[in-house]
């Protein structure tokens, strides 16, 4: 097998098992911030296997406003009405996109109603609460998937195929980065992403450093055994969090390392590169949904710049979730997978605070 064979039909849905006839999966979307309104609901509308039928917000007024804004949304519910079990006959599954520290309560209610759940990352604000979320889904016997959209990004999947096929040799290291100007995007220093009570232990690692972290795990199909980290916050707006900027190293088995950097107070930038003993593959930009992916692969004496039509990452994510629900199989990014990320993230903050290597 050569590079061209692996990269043939670059955007193929190699993950799809169902024939699509079982759908659509009716979604209740919980949390109606800009991400849900501008990215998630339009992606669901464009998907092959899903549709949005219920909108849930803290207030019924906002939920009804959003329901009226989008075609096909039948009901707008307050959070309290959702927890009380209103309109459970109108949706089959739940997408949770509220602040991190409030994910658990919505997942627990959805599980109690027997509904599958797609929960935004990071899955919660602490390992303890994330563990309770996994327990709730397991006890109810419902699908729990964490929203790692890189898992269905064709560029990432094809790089993993190259590694699996041995065309990059044995993995040696992964380099990953993600940064964005958070306060230019959302000019509010009191926003929840900078509030430890709502966001969890930090800002940059938890929110965007998780992209290179999790993508490294996905590409290597392995989990780190130790971490080292440095974090820093100097701007007044980041006074309540330790990581205005962060650098961390993940130590994987067999001497493989991933070095990652992240910042919520820097120019928008992202990339991930995997270097093996016989080749390398770089995706850049990598992690922002609106940016087209660029992929360069070098294997032996062959170097290829891959041109392909980008896909809507959110649409792929929702259809993958529905495909897993319809075929009753666990997604790769299931609750246990997300819980592992939570343990790694907490270890990164511990390593940054102690200035020491922390074993997992």
Three-state secondary structure call for residue 217: helix
CB atoms within 10 A of CB 326: 18
Whether 5 maps to a domain, the answer reads no
Kindly state whether residue 3 falls inside one of the protein's structural domains.
Answer: no
- CATH code: domain of residue 349: 3.30.360.10
Confidence of residue 313 (pLDDT cuts 50, 70, 90): very high
Same domain, residue pair 345 and 266? yes
How far is Cα of residue 112 from the mean position of the Cα atoms in its chain?
A: 24
Q: Residues 153-186: pLDDT tens digits? A: 999 999 999 999 999 999 999 999 999 999 999 9
Q: Report DSSP state, residue 242.
A: S
Residue 261 parent element (H or E): strand 256-263
Please identify, among 149, 167, 191, the residue that sits at the C-terminal boundary of a domain. Answer: 149
**Pick from 348, 357, 14: which is nearest to 214 by CA?**
348
111-123 burial: b if 16+ Cβ within 10 Å, else e: bebebbbbbbbbb
Same domain, 225 and 160: yes
Strand partners, 119: 96, 146
Are residues 342 and 210 part of one domain? yes
Taking the C-alpha atoms of residue 85 and residue 229, their distance in angstroms, rounded to an integer, is: 43
Q: What are 93's two structure tokens?
A: 């599954």
Tell me, yes or no, whether 268 and 355 share the same domain. Answer: yes
Do 240 and 285 fall within a single domain?
yes
196 in the same domain as 172: yes
Q: How many domains does the chain have?
A: 2
Does residue 325 sit within a domain? no
* Residue pair 44/13 in contact by the 8 Å Cβ criterion: no
Q: Is the pLDDT of residue 309 over 90?
A: no
- 299 in Cβ contact with 307 (< 8 Å): no
Can you tell me whether residue 201 is helix, strand or coil? coil
Average pLDDT across the chain, whole number: 96
Residues 6 or more apart whose CB falls under 8 angstroms from that of 157 comprise 14, 15, 151
Q: Which residues contact 343 (CB under 8 A, 6 or more apart)?
A: 127, 360
At 209-268, the pLDDT tens digits run: 999 999 999 999 999 999 999 999 999 999 999 999 999 999 999 999 999 999 999 999
Q: Which domain holds residue 217?
A: 154-310+332-359
For position 8, what pLDDT does the model report? 81
What gap in Å lies between CA 42 and CA 24, rounded to an integer? 15
**343 part of a folded domain:** yes
pTM: 0.97
Q: What is the DSSP string of 159-197?
A: HHHHHHTTTT-SEEEEEEEEEEEHHHHS--TTSGGG-HH
Same domain, 295 and 181: yes
Residues 46 and 184 in one domain: no
* Confidence at residue 4, expressed as pLDDT on a 0 to 100 scale: 81
Does 250 lie in the same domain as 144? no
Q: Say yes or no: 42 and 164 in one domain.
A: no
pLDDT digits (tens, 9 = 90+) for 130-152: 999 999 999 999 999 999 999 99
Name the token pair of 336.
């246990």
Please report which confidence band the pLDDT of residue 7 belongs to, taking 50, 70 and 90 as the band edges.
Answer: confident
Domain end call among 124, 149, 174: 149
pLDDT tens string 11-40: 899 999 998 787 799 999 999 999 999 999
What is the percentage of the chain residues whose pLDDT exceeds 70? 100
> 52: how many CB neighbours lie within 10 A of its CB?
28
Residues 67 and 174 occupy one common structural domain: no
User: 75: domain CATH number?
Assistant: 3.40.50.720
SS3 345: helix
Domain-embedded: residue 327:
no
- Which residues, at least 6 apart from 252, have a Cβ–Cβ distance to it below 8 Å? 220, 222, 223, 224, 225, 258
Final residue of a structural domain among 149, 167, 194: 149
pLDDT band at 91; cut points 50, 70, 90:
very high
- Main-chain dihedrals φ then ψ at residue 243, nearest 5 degrees: -130, 65
Contact 155, 128 (CB under 8 A): no
């Amino acid at each position: 097998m050569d590079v061209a064979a692996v990269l043939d039909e670059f955007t193929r849905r190699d993950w799809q098992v169902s024939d699509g006839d079982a759908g659509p999966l009716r979604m209740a979307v919980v949390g109606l911030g800009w991400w849900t309104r501008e990215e998630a609901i339009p992606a669901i509308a464009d998907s092959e296997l899903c549709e949005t039928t219920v909108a849930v917000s803290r207030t019924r007024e906002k939920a009804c406003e959003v329901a009226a804004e989008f075609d096909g949304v039948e009901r707008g519910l307050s959070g309290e009405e959702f927890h009380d079990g209103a309109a459970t006959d109108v949706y089959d599954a739940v997408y949770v996109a509220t602040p991190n520290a409030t994910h658990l309560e919505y997942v627990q209610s959805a599980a109690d109603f027997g509904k599958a759940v797609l929960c935004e990352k990071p899955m919660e604000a602490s390992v303890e609460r994330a563990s309770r979320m996994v327990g709730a889904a397991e006890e109810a016997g419902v699908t729990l998937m964490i929203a790692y959209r890189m898992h269905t990004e064709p560029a990432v999947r094809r790089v993993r195929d190259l590694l699996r096929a041995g065309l990059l040799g044995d993995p040696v290291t992964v380099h990953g980065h993600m940064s964005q100007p958070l306060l230019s995007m959302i000019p509010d220093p009191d926003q929840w992403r900078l509030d430890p009570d709502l966001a969890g232990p930090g800002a940059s690692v938890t929110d965007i450093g998780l992209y290179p972290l999790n993508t490294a795990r996905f590409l290597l199909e392995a989990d780190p055994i130790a971490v080292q980290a440095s974090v820093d916050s100097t701007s007044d707006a980041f006074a309540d969090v330790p990581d205005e900027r962060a650098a961390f190293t993940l130590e994987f088995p067999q001497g493989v390392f991933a070095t990652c950097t992240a910042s919520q107070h820097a120019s928008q930038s992202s990339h991930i590169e995997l270097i093996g003993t016989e080749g390398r593959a770089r995706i850049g930009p990598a992690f922002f949904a609106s940016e087209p992916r660029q992929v360069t692969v070098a294997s032996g004496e062959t170097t290829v710049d891959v041109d392909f039509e980008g896909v809507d990452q959110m649409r792929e994510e929702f259809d993958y979730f529905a495909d897993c629900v319809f075929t009753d199989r666990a997604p790769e990014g299931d609750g246990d997978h997300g819980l592992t990320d939570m343990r790694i993230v907490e270890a990164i903050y511990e390593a940054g605070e102690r200035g020491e290597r922390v074993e997992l």
